[in-house]
């Protein structure tokens, strides 16, 4: 049987198979073909135009701060709050940290100290203020008769941080990171119910007082969450600027006088 262009049937089939091997998937005719006019497998003609589908409904993105408020409010004890913080999924710092650093010291203490965030030593130990800065911190408070290991609430201290996870390269936490962890910090203060709070460093002042500039704030009493707070320079800063230890000693004496009331 003769074919087009002088090819017989066998030659035309061989040419078609060769084209298929090259990757051809359909034949192109001289006229355009409207695929919607072709019958489907059941023989029912398709509509002339595809039906427009509605845009999918937007997926509601949870607000990290709102979720932090709900999780913190649901925690009725310090152990429950520790679990809520460890389970909180929205802070990216958690992904790079080895441990969740929650607290140290006596939860019955009259004095609560809030620092910035764990460093390398704290991330490894799972406790706040255990590196060089922490050792200086212990000596500073020992000078006024206060210790994190004291069982006596009058001479004890309870320590936590704004951030429970170590920022990479010990960078300062971002404003968004601080904002999402602040509800947990506020609940932490409510559960411990200290008489006095020390804000150790600039990040703690930003988180609790909403303002920074620790060299201006230090030594000046303020109030937050219905409690007196005293900003102090972070011991890591004092290690870099030892001449500032004179001001730190004055702050410790002011703190001792307040606790003696």
Question: Does the pLDDT value for residue 126 go beyond 70?
Answer: yes
Cα–Cα separations (whole angstroms), residue 23 to 11, 13, 14, 18: 19, 16, 15, 9
Local confidence band at 13 (pLDDT 50, 70, 90 cut-offs) = confident
Q: Which tokens hold the place of 73?
A: 């409010």
Residues in Cβ contact with 100 at an 8 Å cutoff, skipping those fewer than 6 apart: 82, 85, 86, 94, 126, 164, 165
Say if CB 223 and CB 229 are below 8 A apart.
yes
Question: Does the pLDDT value for residue 2 go beyond 50?
Answer: no
Task: Please name the helix (run of DSSP H) or strand (run of DSSP E) that holds residue 141, with its range, or none.
Answer: helix 132-142
Residues in Cβ contact with 156 at an 8 Å cutoff, skipping those fewer than 6 apart: 105, 106, 108, 109, 110, 111, 146, 147, 148, 150
Q: How confident is the model at residue 148, as a pLDDT?
A: 97
Q: Which tokens hold the place of 64?
A: 């990290």
Q: How confident is the model at residue 19, as a pLDDT?
A: 73
| 38 against 148, higher pLDDT | 148
Q: What is the DSSP letter of 132?
A: H
| 25 against 106, higher pLDDT | 106
66-259: in CATH 3.40.470.10: yes
Local confidence band at 136 (pLDDT 50, 70, 90 cut-offs) = very high
Helices vs strands, H then E, count in the chain: 11, 6
**DSSP-derived pairing of the beta strands 196-200 and 227-232:** parallel
pLDDT average, residue stretch 115-120: 97
Residues in Cβ contact with 52 at an 8 Å cutoff, skipping those fewer than 6 apart: none
SS3 assignment, position 43: coil
Q: Which pLDDT tens digit goes with each residue over 158-198?
A: 999 999 999 999 999 999 999 999 999 999 999 999 999 99
Residues in Cβ contact with 118 at an 8 Å cutoff, skipping those fewer than 6 apart: 97, 99, 101, 128, 161, 163, 164, 165, 166
pLDDT average, residue stretch 52-72: 83
Local confidence band at 3 (pLDDT 50, 70, 90 cut-offs) = very low
Cα–Cα distance measured from residue 128 to residue 169, given in angstroms and rounded to the nearest whole number? 17
Cα–Cα distance measured from residue 256 to residue 261, given in angstroms and rounded to the nearest whole number? 9
Residues 83-89: contacts with CB within 8 Å, 24+ apart?
A: 84/184, 85/164, 85/181, 85/184, 86/164, 88/180, 88/184
pLDDT average, residue stretch 222-236: 97
Q: How many CB atoms lie under 10 A from the CB of residue 136? A: 18
pLDDT average, residue stretch 89-115: 97
């Amino acid at each position: 049987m003769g074919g087009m262009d002088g090819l017989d049937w066998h030659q035309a089939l061989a040419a078609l198979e060769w084209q298929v091997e090259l990757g051809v998937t359909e034949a192109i005719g001289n006229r355009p073909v409207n695929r919607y006019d072709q019958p489907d497998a059941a023989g029912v003609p398709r509509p002339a135009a595809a039906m427009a589908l509605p845009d999918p409904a937007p997926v509601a993105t949870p607000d990290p701060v709102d979720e932090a408020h709900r999780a913190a409010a649901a925690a009725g004890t310090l152990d429950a709050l520790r679990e809520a913080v460890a389970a909180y999924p929205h802070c990216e710092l958690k992904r790079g940290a080895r441990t969740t650093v929650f607290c140290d010291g006596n939860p019955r203490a009259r004095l609560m100290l809030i620092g910035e965030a764990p460093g390398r030593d704290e991330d490894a130990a799972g406790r706040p203020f255990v590196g060089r800065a922490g050792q200086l911190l212990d000596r500073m408070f020992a000078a006024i008769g206060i210790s994190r290991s004291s069982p006596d609430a009058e001479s004890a201290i309870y320590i936590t941080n704004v951030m429970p996870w170590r920022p990479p390269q010990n960078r300062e936490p971002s404003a968004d990171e601080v904002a999402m962890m602040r509800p947990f910090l506020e609940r932490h203060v409510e559960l411990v119910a200290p008489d006095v709070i020390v804000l150790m460093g600039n990040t703690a002042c930003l988180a609790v007082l909403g303002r920074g500039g620790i060299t201006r704030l230090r030594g000046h009493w303020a109030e937050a969450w219905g409690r007196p707070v005293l900003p102090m320079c972070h011991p890591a800063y004092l290690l870099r600027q030892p001449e500032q230890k004179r001001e730190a000693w004055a702050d410790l004496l002011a703190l001792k006088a307040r606790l003696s009331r």
